[in-house]
Amino acid sequence: MLEERFRWIRGGIVRTVILSQRAHETFLEVPVEREDAALAWWRRYLRGYAARVESITAPRPVRILDLFCGSGGLALGLIEGLRASGCDPRIEMAVDVDEGALAVYAFNLKPARTLRCSITNLVEFQVFGQLKSAEFAYHPEMIDPMLASLKGGIDVICAGPPCQGHSNLNNHSRRDDPRNLLFLSVPAIAVALDAPTVIIENVPEVQSDKFGVVETASTLLKRSGYQLTDHVINSSSLGCAQLRRRYFLIASRGRLPQSLRGTIEKLEKSPVPVAWAIDDLRETVPDSVFNSTPSLSSENQRRIDYLFDEGLFDLPNEVRPDCHKNGHTYGSVYGRLDWNKPAQTITTGFLTPGRGRFIHPLERRVLTPHEAARLQAFPDSFKFVLSGRPAPSRQDLSKWIGDAVPSVMGHAAGICLAAALSVAPPD
């Protein structure tokens, strides 16, 4: 059983998450607003206000290993979802190759340890066959001693394998597709560490990978005693002002009382527009890279002016550069966002008008990193800073923000995970 409720009380909003007939409450101070209580909650959260857990029982510890962690969008949401569901999430280790992203992650999410390393250097495994015939040739073994020490001490592995890399799995299941080794390394690490639950996210297109990495990974997990649930989540259905779709796979060695799809249906909220997320930022002083935009070329500024002067949201063919004329696949490039609709997918190119629909709806410029972070559901309490180091560059910010998974998606996965944990007694 899963139910989520929001109700106004004096001084704020109480949020109640009911799992397995047990209610878990959190309180967020919110001034009275004429708005749906659920949306008012999330708007306040987005602006940096923290919720207070109202728990009458000791929360259940949940130990997390975060692979391909990036700057922490997925983990941020996962933590919030678990806390709202009566759990006490603790990140035991975060792993990524990006030193700066790890530093931002550590500053905000306080993992016990971080490890800068390629995932391919962490685990030794081989796979025979593929799709429904796939199986591990032998029990996967951890190579890294620090990670190996976590065996039996992890409750959840979460991972967002990127779509880049080089695969050299073995002679039985060698692939040309770079996603293969990275995606399949996650179930290998889960089995090697005896982790009871796993969350994997990726682009929806990974399901159509010509070598069937999702089905192969699913088979490996099932053969290792896991039950599975998966779903493609659209962030706009969860109260995020962005249209972004991601594929999620959750595996558990316990019973799954709630499917991921069922969880999403219980948590669905009304779509919110760009204005809902960033309207209060229009008066922000551009005193930092985070709150300012880069200078544009005269050609790009002319294209932006054309959109505003003509009252358009899409740049006509004759005004586009030659490489984007005549029915180019990416029709949204040089596009202007609509103030009253959700944004299209935010990518690492949000500082460049020629890389997507990233022109501000009301101002003749592209989005600031702060605005992009809000659209990615990063609350203002999350700081893109490097402790003891110079301020990050625009290139750093665009990568950390654009590559992230909107935290609302991790939040939903966290509640689904909590539902699975709620049917099993703690260690």
As beta bridge partners, residue 144 has none
C-alpha dist (Å) from residue 322 to 69, 310, 313: 38, 21, 19
pLDDT of residue 178: 52
CATH number of 283-402: 3.90.120.10
| Closest CA relative to residue 358, chosen from 293, 279, 271 | 293
Return the higher-pLDDT residue of 328 and 290. Answer: 290
**pTM, to two decimals:** 0.92
C-alpha dist (Å) from residue 381 to 186, 204, 350: 30, 29, 21
pLDDT tens, position by position, 51-98 = 999 876 778 899 999 999 999 999 999 999 999 999 999 999 999 999
CB 402 within 8 A of CB 306: no
59-274+406-422 against 283-402: fold identical: no
Q: What is the mean pLDDT of residues 4-33?
A: 90
pLDDT of residue 288: 93
Please give the span between the terminal C-alpha atoms of the chain, in angstroms, as a whole number. Answer: 23
Domain 59-274+406-422 CATH (choose: 3.10.20.600, 3.40.50.150, 3.40.30.10, 2.170.150.20)? 3.40.50.150
Positions marked catalytic: 163
pLDDT of residue 425: 47
pLDDT over 90 (residue 420): no
Banded pLDDT at 325 (limits 50, 70, 90): low
Q: What is the mean pLDDT of residues 344-373?
A: 96
Banded pLDDT at 332 (limits 50, 70, 90): confident
Banded pLDDT at 258 (limits 50, 70, 90): confident
pLDDT tens, position by position, 203-238 = 999 898 877 899 999 999 999 999 999 999 999 999
pLDDT tens, position by position, 111-162 = 999 999 988 889 999 999 989 999 999 999 999 999 999 999 999 999 999 7
The domain ranges of the chain are 59-274+406-422, 283-402
Pairing label, strands 141-142, 156-159: unpaired
**What secondary structure does DSSP assign to 123-156, as a single string?**
EE--EES-GGG-EESS--EE-SHHHHTTTT--SE
pLDDT of residue 398: 97
pLDDT of residue 260: 92
pLDDT of residue 20: 80
pLDDT of residue 177: 52
